[in-house]
Amino acid sequence: MPDCFNCGTSLDKIIAPVARSETCPRCGADVRVCKNCRHYDVKAYNECNEPQAERVLDKERANFCDYFSFTGGAAKESQPSKEDVLKQLDDLFKN
């Protein structure tokens, strides 16, 4: 079930192909964005696993990528939360 990359709201009622103007019903964020694409990967070159895709600078704004495949970014993104990172740093510098 796809989720909004921004707020995590379920987007299962949005029908593919996702229109560029589609927005999240809860937070209003654009839906056809890199962070909601199955090719999005923060560890990949240009944060995209599709080698033929053109570079997109703003991963949170609607774009015209021909390789967009909707999967929902909230469940996919594997970056640690800000709180987790701060806790790790705090633990690192404790005596």
3-19 confidence digits (pLDDT tens):
899 999 999 888 878 89
How many domains does the chain divide into? Answer: 1
Question: How far are the Cα atoms of 32, 44, 71 from residue 38, in angstroms, in the given order?
Answer: 11, 12, 5
Give the pLDDT band of residue 73 (cuts 50, 70, 90).
very low
State the chain's mean pLDDT as an integer.
85
Quote the CA–CA distance of 47 and 41 in Å, as a whole number: 5
Task: Domain of residue 10: give its range.
Answer: 1-95
Q: Can you give the pTM of this predicted structure?
A: 0.70
In this predicted model, what pLDDT tens digit does every residue of 39-56 receive, in sequence order?
999 999 999 999 999 999
Examine the pLDDT at 66 and tell me if it is beyond 90: yes
Is there a cis peptide before residue 17, judged by omega within 30 degrees of 0?
yes
Quote the CA–CA distance of 28 and 89 in Å, as a whole number: 34
